[in-house]
Structure 1
Amino acid sequence: MGPGILTRYSKQVLGGILAVFAVIAAVLLYFRFRGPVGGVSPYETVNDLFEQELISFTIEHDIYPTDVETIQVTIRNDANDTVVGPATYCLDEWLLEKQVGGVWHSMRLSPLAAERHVEWDFPPEENGPNSGPSGIVNWNGGEQRYLCSIEKYYKTPLEAGTYRIVFPQMEHRNTAALAVEFEVK
C-alpha cells in the first residue's frame, strides 16, 4: 500500500484549509471594521400621513451628545377620528439615518447587536402591572412616547452630524414613514 491521500497531498490540503480560514477571517474583519454609514435611505418622502398637520412626531431635544444611549420620541394625534399606529406587518420597527452631503443614509447595525430587528421600547411608567402600551396613538390629543435605544443597535459613540429617527410604516388612513431630525455634537 502506498502513502495515503493526506500524506501525499498534505501541503495542498493544509494550504487549502488555511486559505479557507483566511477568507473567513477577512470577511469577518470587513464586517467588523467597515464604516457605520450604509446605503442611501429608501425613505425619500416622510411625514406624509393623511391629516399630517394634525399629527406631530417630536423628540425630547434638538441636540444630543455623541455618546447618546436612548432617544425618546413622541407621537401626538390631534385628528378627530382615526388612530395612528404601526402597520400590522411592521409592528415596532425604527431606523437611524444620517445625512451625508444632503442625502439621507441608513446607519448599519452594530456587529455586536444581538438582534437584527430594531425595536422600540416604552418608558417604564407606561407599563401597567399586567400590560404595556400597544404603540397605537388615539385621536383627539392622544399621545404615545417611544424609546429608541441607540447603544443597543448601533455603533456608539455616534459621529457628529445630522441624524433622524424613522418609523418606516405608520398608518393613519394611509401608510407612510414618520421621521424626526436631530443633531449630534
Structure 2
Amino acid sequence: MKTIGKYLIRARKQKGLSIRQLSGATKIRESFLVALEKEKWAQLPEFSVVTGFVKSVAGALDMSREQAVAVLRRDYPPRKLEESRRSELTPEFRISPQLAFFSGVTLVILVIVGYLVVQYISFVRPPSLSVEVPVDNQVVLTRELAVYGKTNASTTVIVNTQPALVADDGAFATTIEINEDTTKVEVVATSRAGKETRITRTIKPELEN
C-alpha cells in the first residue's frame, strides 16, 4: 500500500519534475515539499494547510485531488490531526505592532483627557470648606478668637473681611478681634475661578471687662 509520500514522489517523477520545479509551479517552499514526501509531519504546518499543499501538488501533477486528500487523511497521524483540529478551533490572538502602538496612543489620550476633565471640574466647582473652630453658638470670653479649618489648596479664605493664611494642604488659620457686638463669624473660601463657599458660625461674646 502506497503512502501519501510515495504516492506524490511517483507522480512527480512520472512528470519529470524536480522538487525545485514543483516548488516553482505550486509556490510551496521546497522544505515543505520534501517534508511532505518524506512524511515528516512535525516539520509541516497544521492539517488544513497540509491539505492545501496536497491539493496544489496534485493539481500540478495532474493527479486526482480528491484521491490525494483521501490518502493524506488515511496516513496523517491521528494525534497530529487532533492537535491540528484543536488549534483550528482555538482562535489565536496576536497583538500586532500597529495595534500596540494605537492602543498606547489611545491610552495616553484617555489619561490626558481624564486629567483635563478633573482639572476643569475642580476649577469650575465651588471649593470645599470646613470650619473646625469656632463651633456654632460657641461662647467667647476673650477679645481674640482663633478661627481655623480646611479648604482646597490655592484657595483664598476671608474671615469677617480678614484674610487667613492657607497652607499647601488647604488648612487655614487666622485670629480675629471680637467685641460685644460680634455675633457672627463668616468664613468665605474663593477659588481661582471666583467660585465661593460660605460658612457662618454664631458666637456668644461674654467678654471680660
The structure with more strand, counted as a fraction of residues = 1
The structure with more helix, counted as a fraction of residues = 2
**Structure showing greater Rg:** 2
TM over 0.5: no
TM-score of the two chains, using structure 1 as the length reference: 0.32
Using CA pairs under 8 Å that are at least 6 residues apart, name the structure with larger relative contact order, 1 or 2. Answer: 1
